Chain A
Amino acid sequence: MASWIPLWLHKLGSPPTFYRFAGALQPWAMALALLLGAIGLYGGLVLAPADYQQADAYRIIFIHVPSAWMSMFIYAVMGVASFVALVWRIKLAEVVAMESAPIGAAFTFITLVTGSLWGKPMWGTWWTWDARLTSELVLLFLFLGVIGLYHAFEDRRQGARAAAFLAIIGIINVPIVHFSVNWWNTLHQGSTVNVFGQSKISADMLWPLLTMTLATKFYYLASLFSRARTDLLALEGGKDWVRKIAEDEASR
């Protein structure tokens, strides 16, 4: 292990320490996510005025846009964790990368469905082959590919390393897909959709949006912690610290 990594970070990488650390933080992250989510949704659904062009349909953006940002953010986290997992072979990085994938897939799925629910009244179509939409769809397939590859292996850690490799290939692929679909749109003169219009977003709409973005970030943290804890229990099944947890929970 490289010497520049501070000792506390090194310690945090050990499964039992991380298990306790994540267990202590998880309820707080979830509480913050729920609180910020409640504030953001109240601001977005009740306080913010209706848009003069899109009326009330625009209120879908308070979940659509944060989900879209999360789908990319989680893919980036998964890519970085995959890189760390492959280069330094840290078990915790493998866990973080593999447990991020289902959450990322969930957010990508939400983005796609809420996007088409927004698009139908606004552009009159559920789906259009725009670069942004297509990239998001490709992102969903990448997440599903990572999850599928991870579960195809008998050995969990080997599966995690193979899937981490796929995640890194995918990170190179997304910009290429975006570029190629953009090029394809100019060729076919397809329906280019201006998602945000020309109007600048007003402050009444901006603060709920940003609050929701923060809420989804904390939700990701909470979900990741709870998934990583479960995964560590499954991975370290034979170790003493896990045995103790199993016995403690049975006696309760």
Chain B
Amino acid sequence: MNALQQFLAMGGYAAYVWPAYALFFAVLLADTLAPRLRRRRVLAELRARLARQSARQERKPLSTPASP
């Protein structure tokens, strides 16, 4: 346990070392997650657009009197 405490204390510089590492991982995590979230949004928008298009195409034949 003592070794771990010594490691975490960083020779008295813990207040500088660990925030630096925390920031490093936080920024890179945000950078990794951002494209994934955007990808989900882009695909959802695309699907919504496709759904609207196909709905419009189905409605068109209905307006003509020949269709059932």
Contact = CB atoms under 8 A, between A and B. Distances in A.
Given A230-B38, A242-B46, A243-B46, A121 B13 contact: yes
A110 B23 contact: yes
Contacts, number: 97
Interface string A101-140: 0110010011001100110110000000000000000000
Contact of A237 (B13, B17, B35, B42): B42
Grouping DSSP codes into helix (H, G, I), strand (E, B) and loop, the A interface class, with mixed when no group exceeds half, is helix
Contacts of B45: 237
Chain B contact residues, majority secondary structure: helix
B24 to A, nearest CB: 5
A60 B50 CA distance: 50
A57 interface: yes
A113 B20 contact: yes
A37 to B, nearest CB: 9
Contact of B43 (A59, A60, A67, A233): A233
A63 interface: yes
Contacts of A117: 16-17, 19-20, 23
Contacts of A242: 46
Interface centre among B7, B10, B12, B20 (most CB of A within 10 A): B20
B17 A46 contact: no
Interface residues of A, number: 39
16 contacts: A56-B11, A59-B17, A60-B17, A102-B31, A106-B27, A110-B23, A114-B24, A117-B19, A118-B16, A223-B32, A226-B35, A227-B35, A237-B49, A243-B50, A246-B46, A247-B47
